[in-house]
Chains A and B, each alone.
Chain A
Amino acid sequence: MTNRLIYAGLTVVGLVMLGPFIWTFLASTTEGGVVSWPLDPSLAAYGRLLDTMPFWRILINSVMVAVVSTALQVVTSAMAAYAFARLRFQGRDAVFVVYLATLMIPMQVLVVPLFIEMKTFDLVDTYAGLIAPTIASAFGVFFLRQAARQVPRELDEAAVMDGAGHIKIFAFVVLPLMRPALATFAIFAFMASWNAFLWPLVILRSPEFMTLPLGLANLHGQFTTEWDVVMAGSVVSVLPILVVYVLAQRHVIASVARTGLK
């Protein structure tokens, strides 16, 4: 009896979560976006979307920027994590505290001076300017340091006996054992880049460099009343991440759950 009630409640919430997605899809296939019964499906909005926005270019930008910035963050963070977990050097704790301090500075404080800095480097409205602030991640260093410290030291000692230096130990002993943490961090970094809005909004001007969230916001600015086109843009920008999610959802959810347990 109560079990049935629970399932009923869960299903209602499920519909509330899925409903907006379904509605968005229906709106994107209805002239003007005002869905009414009987349905009158048309793909006209998608055609208009492709005519007005270099959609494929923007999609490729999004994928490329997310992949490059994720790869950079994973590599730079893992290297620093190794240094903090395994190397002994003067001022190590002080340097680590500086890393942690940068973790607390929100993008919102940095956005204006960062924009000015990019202007002096002549990087406004370029891929380099878009990606530069995401090369390193203090969060990544902090997160991966925990994982690196959990790798048993006996393993590196064995490698040292075999004559391996730090670069070899890092690449062949510690890194492979950190794989779950690396995957978790990579998922976070990818989603953050894929969904980033404020920095792209500030640094980019030309449609050909834009990523999906920015392209979509611009589309909305252009077509304030043509909701079918805006909804079509939303559908196509959700689809790629949805595919990734369906394939990796267990891992995505497990990653999020783990961070909360720490």
Chain B
Amino acid sequence: MVLFFLAPSAVPLVLFTLVPMVGSLWVSLHEWNLIGTMRWVGLANYAALLSDGDAWRALLNTVLYIAGYLPLVYIGGLGLAVALNRVTRGRDLFRSVYFLPVITSWVVVALMWKWLLNPSEGIVNRLLALMGIEGPGWWTSEEWALPSVILASAWKDLGFVMVILLAGLQAVPRDVLEAARVDGAGAWRRFRDITFPLLTPSTFFVVVISLINGFQVFDQVYVMTGGGPAGASEVVVERVYDLTFRYGRVGDASALSWVLFLVVLIVTVVQVRLQRRWVSYD
């Protein structure tokens, strides 16, 4: 009976998750180009990562991506949620519109923004030119490639964060806020002392999910910049993909993907540990 209920999920999970997981560890201890024979190198791939400038740059770019993306979606999403929570008419309409990019695939979002941010013919630079500003080269320039990706990503996920935070806000009891107002607490104090503490579980959820997804960012980078120009926007997963399918360095790629996994794991565990200090569930 147990087998009947568990086998349909257990067999695929073993075959397509556990086996490749072990396989990935095994490959990361070898030098291999996908076609030829594997050569055992022990931990050399991991050791080589430490002095691999490209890998470090990819990690730095990934961290920079998160550092740009997370404040944008969180502060933007919070602002929208607070505003939407104060109005009644048209709330559902606004919410649906803001959520539209969330259901759109990353590839489509990346292509749309690649055209919007086209340096010479994109609407953004054309509008900037009307205001007398010369727009940057966006995804074609080394300084602006990563910000372009951040902009498109924040635009896509803003609605998601807003919906999560709005749900949290709607759980804030109105009578408590009203009582505080009667006692003479101003809008900022009510937000800081009542609303925000009650929002900490939703905030925690948004931060954990954003960090996990942020470290694994790939689709939009692949489509918008391919990691370029000259590696300026190459993130870790893009590097793993290039190492495997472009340079045939499968061992190095596997080692890098394990390092990424460990980083995500550590960051998530630290978050969960720290949550007791600032997240209140009552």
Contact = CB atoms under 8 A, between A and B. Distances in A.
A238 B104 contact: yes
B257 A80 contact: no
Contacts of A27: 115
Contacts of B219: 197-198, 213
B191 interface: no
A6 B206 contact: no
| Number of chain B interface residues as a range | 35 or more
Given A87-B1, A213-B105, A213-B108, A99 B13 contact: yes
A260 B168 contact: yes
Interface residues of A, number: 88
Interface stretch (B66-74, B133-141, B156-164, B174-182): B156-164
B115 A230 contact: yes
Given A24-B115, A195-B105, A197-B219, A77 B1 contact: no
Given A117-B19, A260-B167, A245 B9 contact: no
Contacts of A95: 6, 10
A215 to B, nearest CB: 9
Interface string B96-114: 1111111111111001110
Query: Most chain-B Cβ atoms within 10 A of its Cβ — which of A6, A194, A262?
Result: A6
A260 B164 contact: yes
B277 interface: no
Given A117-B19, A261-B168, A82 B24 contact: no
Interface string A207-225: 0000011101100100000
A133 B18 CA distance: 11
Interface string A26-66: 01000001110000000000000000000000000000000
A222 to B, nearest CB: 13
A256 B108 contact: no
Interface of A: 3, 6-7, 9-10, 13-14, 16-18, 20-21, 23-24, 27, 33-35, 75-77, 79-80, 82-83, 87, 89, 95, 98-99, 102, 104-114, 116-117, 132-133, 135-138, 141, 166-167, 170, 191, 194-195, 197-198, 201-202, 212-214, 216-217, 220, 227, 230-231, 233-234, 237-238, 241-242, 245, 249-250, 252-253, 256-262
Interface of B: 1-2, 4-6, 8-13, 15-21, 23-24, 27, 34, 80, 83-84, 86-87, 90, 92, 94-108, 111-113, 115-116, 118, 121, 123, 155, 158-160, 163-168, 171, 201-202, 205-206, 212, 216, 218-219, 222-223, 237, 240-241, 244-245, 250, 253-254, 257-258, 260-261, 264-265
The 7 A-B residue pairs with the shortest CB-CB distance in the complex, in nearest-first order = A260-B164, A113-B23, A257-B167, A83-B5, A113-B20, A195-B105, A213-B107
8 contacts: A24-B115, A104-B265, A114-B16, A194-B105, A212-B107, A214-B107, A216-B111, A234-B111
